[in-house]
């Protein structure tokens, strides 16, 4: 069992920035492809960003491209989501996820490909 702990959420104004962090409970971080998802009230959980084991491949949903950056520091066992130019539409609970990846270049973009999930952190953007 791998527990993921998110941090960094909060209440900000439109145009502000936030950085989310996600750390696993076990020191096997390098074995996992990682991702961020979000879920707004009344909506399904949606893909936000993903990163491969080595951190050199990433993917984003169209609505956050150019504003959000996913990264990971394998030495610190931590993944990040830098969110700039936040918009009210970004308001949601953000979840980090980890999926075992045999291949170094693997990226997962659908929820069912991930095995472990964090508890979520609330991001609220006021207009």
Grouped pLDDT means (10 residues each) for the chain, 127 residues: 89 98 83 96 96 96 98 94 98 96 93 94 97
pLDDT at 28: 74
Percent with pLDDT over 90 in the chain: 89
The total of other beta-carbon atoms located within 10 Å of residue 23's CB is 17
The total of other beta-carbon atoms located within 10 Å of residue 61's CB is 16
Q: 112 — alpha (psi -120 to 50), left (phi > 0) or beta?
A: alpha
pLDDT at 83: 98
Given a contact cutoff of 8 angstroms between Cβ atoms, the answer to whether 10 and 83 are in contact is no
pLDDT at 11: 98
pLDDT at 84: 98
């Amino acid at each position: 069992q791998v527990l993921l702990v998110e941090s960094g959420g909060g209440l900000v104004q439109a145009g502000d920035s936030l950085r989310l962090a996600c750390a696993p409970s076990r020191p096997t971080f390098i074995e996992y492809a990682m991702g961020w998802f979000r879920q707004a009230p009344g909506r399904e959980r949606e893909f936000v960003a993903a990163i491969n084991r080595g951190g050199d491949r990433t993917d984003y949903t169209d609505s956050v491209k150019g504003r959000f950056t996913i990264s990971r520091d394998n030495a610190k066992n931590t993944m990040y989501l830098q969110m700039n130019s936040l918009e009210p539409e970004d308001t949601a609970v953000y979840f980090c996820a980890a999926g075992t990846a045999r291949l170094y270049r693997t990226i997962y973009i659908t929820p069912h490909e991930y095995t472990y999930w964090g508890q979520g952190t609330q991001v609220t953007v006021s207009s």
